[in-house]
Amino acid sequence: MIGSILGNRYEIIEKIGAGGMALVYKARCNLLNRFVAVKVLRSELIEDQEFISRFNIESQAAASLSHANIVSVYDVGQQDDIHYIVMEYIDGITLKEVINKNGALPWKEVLNFSIQICSALEHAHKKNIVHRDIKPHNIMISNDGVLKVTDFGIARAATSATLTLGGNTIGSVHYFSPEQARGSYTDEKSDIYSLGIVMYEMLTSKVPFDGESPVAVAIKHIQEQPVPPRTINKNIPIALQSIVLKAICKDQGSRYSSAGSMLNDLYQAFEQPDEDFVGGENIDDSPTRKIPIINISGSENVGKKKKKVKKEDRVAVIAAIITSMFIIGGLTAVGYHVFKDQIPVAKNMEQKVPDLVGQEFNTIKTSYNDPDKFIIEQAEQQYNEEYEKGTIISQDPAANIVVKIPQTIKVVVSKGARTIKVPDLVNQEYRQAEIMLDENDLNYKVIDEFHDTVPEGIVIRHIPGEGMEVQEGDIVQLYVSRGRKIKMVNMPDLVGKTEDEAKRMVSERGLLVGEIKPEESDLPKGIVIRQGITANSEVEEKTLVDLVVSKGKATDENQRYINIQLPQDKERVVIKIEYYKRVGNDYVFEKVEYEKAHNTSEGDGIASIALQGRGIIYIEVYIDGQKLGDKKTEINFGGDGE
């Protein structure tokens, strides 16, 4: 499944879980670019119409639910022989993992978790949906502490005739209700019982009923009373213990009438943890008492005297006898249903081989190991990605074959998927990263991304990350840098703008302000005279832009500026100016030469040059050695001789 795409949309990335009916994968929705969880029906069940029906019921039931504490269902589909449901992906761990790691939880945390679960059940029950498999394994805790009830795999719309399907109890034996153990009527109160068991485990780190086999545990649910939680953990408040004991009453009528009423008591427990405000019957609801001996003739023995029984009492006695007969008959039926596989059978009788594939080896070994019937032996262990560790992959003889007993059944047990730890590929050259993945028997997919700091061809990140355990042949996504993305921008016209305004315009376009050079001019101080890059040209983002900014008019009254139009057929020219200026008060002149290279793009193609002098002076201008004009240019500097 890893690497395949379902519905032309959901790309399977990794396996994240498995249940009795389905495997769960993490996937990416390529349409909405988000992670989702995809539940896929086990391949060996696709021919079983009962399982197909349950799988469809899950999708229909869960899709109608919308609650903060219930995992959302996004899509349902079928591709060839693959039946799947697309659900919300929760980045977190199960409540079972939290309990296994931390043991008994603080009572306030238990209350918080219980309120979230109970709130989810209240929402589902209002829509006539009974979960029927509430257990810590089916409750996810996100990284921000929000609980999400998941796996409505055996949920079913509740009607007046809601019974367990096909006479089989469905659910996990440590958490299911007495009525589920008996295979009788289940309703919303069955979920309340299971929630009570979950609360018991959160408070004590133990389940109230345990045994060597599922049958033993089921009988305890029906017959035995639990040890009060405060006997195990004295820190549990009285109110919280009372809520748990009321929720797990054997009699459905003695439990909470609804998830809503239980939710009210959970909230009150926060305010009054040490008050026993919870109503309901005592845990010992069948105290020992003296029962009179029933006389068939219509009287009862009281010492040596006979006392006639009234007609009303006789009716009551008969009713009690009939009720007892029903109870005895029911228990007899339950006893046969539970213990029928343990009744001795004669040797050499023929019997069908049970189907053990997909079941947990240790449980099966305990349940079926009978020297008079079937003896379960482990032939070998194999890696297998479809079956969890400890699950039976195959058996010999095969299921449903008729054999003479006793018979040995040899089974192959899964070692789980062969896992490989993803190496650290970050900052590796991508070709080297590919070699490392090949050496680890992992596939890869290269995804190019622009990056401002990571050089081109270097791995930025990868999914799954370093140290994550994946299966042989899984796909690792390599995100490889394409270098910095080159973005072209239009150069604004900055001439005539103030220095601050020019800086803002440069920054807004993703450019950088370069050298700012002050220069005397007739323009007011702070006005841009020239810009280093021609206006309206296309340049790369983050290019440096130099500015020439006016520092105002010259203080020397004998200084003048001349503006020279620059030719545009060259990028750079040399301007040379020759003239004679007057020295002192005498008519003494000295030759002045100005020679400097200019970019033809500066100042919109005009070079502004400052000259010093007095009176009228004639100058000659040369551009790249070519004299400009036929005559000398006359400039009036003022002053003496003006």
149 touches 131 (CB < 8 A): yes
Taking the complete model, does pTM exceed 0.75, yes or no?
no
Q: In whole angstroms, what is the distance from residue 46 CA to residue 50 CA? A: 9
Q: Is the predicted pLDDT of residue 286 greater than 70, yes or no?
A: no
Q: Are 180 and 169 in contact (CB under 8 A)?
A: yes
- Confirm if 299 and 308 have CB atoms less than 8 A apart: yes
Q: Which residues are catalytic?
A: 133
Whether residue 452 has pLDDT greater than 50:
yes
Cα–Cα distance between 325 and 68 in angstroms, integer?
Answer: 48
The verdict on 142 and 233 lying in the same domain is yes
Whether 520 is covered by a domain: the verdict is yes
Whether omega before 406 lies within 30 degrees of 0, making that bond cis, reads: yes
Nearest to 417 by CA among 380, 384, 381: 384
Residues 67 and 128 in one domain: no
In a domain? residue 176: yes
**Which amino acid, one-letter code, is at 596?**
K
Per-residue pLDDT averaged across 282-306, rounded?
35
Domain boundary among 88, 119, 140: 88
Q: Is the pLDDT of residue 541 over 80?
A: yes
Q: Are residues 532 and 614 in the same domain?
A: yes
Q: In which residue are the tokens 């005592």 written?
A: 282
DSSP state of 252: G
- Does one domain contain both 218 and 351? no
Token code pair at residue 163: 């019974």
Statement to judge: residues 504 and 594 lie in one domain? yes
Q: Rounded to whole angstroms, how far apart are CA atoms 141 and 96?
A: 10
Cα 507 from Cα 535, distance rounded (Å): 15
Q: Does 545 fall in a domain?
A: yes
Judgement on whether residues 106 and 240 belong to the same structural domain of the protein: yes
Average pLDDT for the chain = 81
Q: Say if residue 593 is in the same domain as residue 494.
A: yes
Which H or E run contains 17?
strand 10-18
Q: pLDDT for 347-397, tens place per residue?
A: 567 888 888 998 888 888 777 767 778 889 998 998 887 888 889 999 999
Residue with token string 């006005």: 527
The DSSP string of 72-85 is -EEEEEEETTEEEE
Domain of 384: which CATH number? 3.30.10.20
Domain that holds residue 194: 93-271
User: What is the pLDDT averaged over residues 189-197?
Assistant: 96
Query: Could you tell me which residues are beta bridge partners of residue 414?
Result: 382
* Domain limit, last residue, from 50, 73, 88: 88
pLDDT at 193 over 50: yes
Residues 465, 523, single domain; the answer is no
Has residue 211 got a pLDDT over 80? yes
Q: What CATH number does residue 59 fall under?
A: 3.30.200.20
| Residues 210, 319 within the same domain | no
Residue 305: count of CB within 10 angstroms of its CB: 7
Q: How many domains does the chain have?
A: 6
- How many angstroms separate the CA atoms of 61 and 150, rounded? 12
Categorize the per-residue pLDDT at 194 as very low, low, confident or very high, splitting at 50, 70 and 90: very high
Residue 147's domain is classified under what CATH number?
Answer: 1.10.510.10
In a domain, 294, yes or no: no
Q: How far apart are the first and last CA of the chain?
A: 97
For residue 393, the surrounding DSSP H or E stretch is strand 392-396
pLDDT tens readout for residues 465-519:
888 878 778 889 999 998 888 888 999 999 999 999 999 999 999 899 999 999 8
Condensed to tens digits (0 to 9), the pLDDT of residues 214-271 reads 888 989 999 999 999 999 999 999 999 999 999 999 988 899 999 999 999 998 998 8
pLDDT, one tens digit per residue, over 134-157 is: 999 999 998 878 899 987 655 443
Chain segment 550-606, per-residue pLDDT in tens: 987 655 556 777 888 888 888 899 999 988 877 766 667 788 888 999 988 877 788
Query: Among 45, 61, 88, where does a domain finish?
Result: 88
Token pair in block for residue 637: 């500097």
148 lies in the same domain as 242: yes
- For residue 106, give every residue at least 6 positions away whose Cβ sits within 8 Å of its Cβ, in sequence order, or none: none
Report helix angle 361-368 to 214-223, nearest 10: 80
Q: Indicate if 556 and 610 belong to the same structural domain.
A: yes
How far is Cα 516 from Cα 512, in angstroms, rounded to an integer?
Answer: 12
The yes-or-no verdict on residue 40 having pLDDT over 70 is: yes
DSSP letter string, 218-249: HHHHHHPPPPPHHHH-TTS-HHHHHHHHHHT-
Query: In terms of domains, do 164 and 266 share one?
Result: yes
Q: Is residue 284, in this structure, part of any structural domain at all?
A: no
Whether 283 maps to a domain, the answer reads no
In a domain, 291, yes or no: no
Whether residue 462 is contained in a domain is answered as: yes
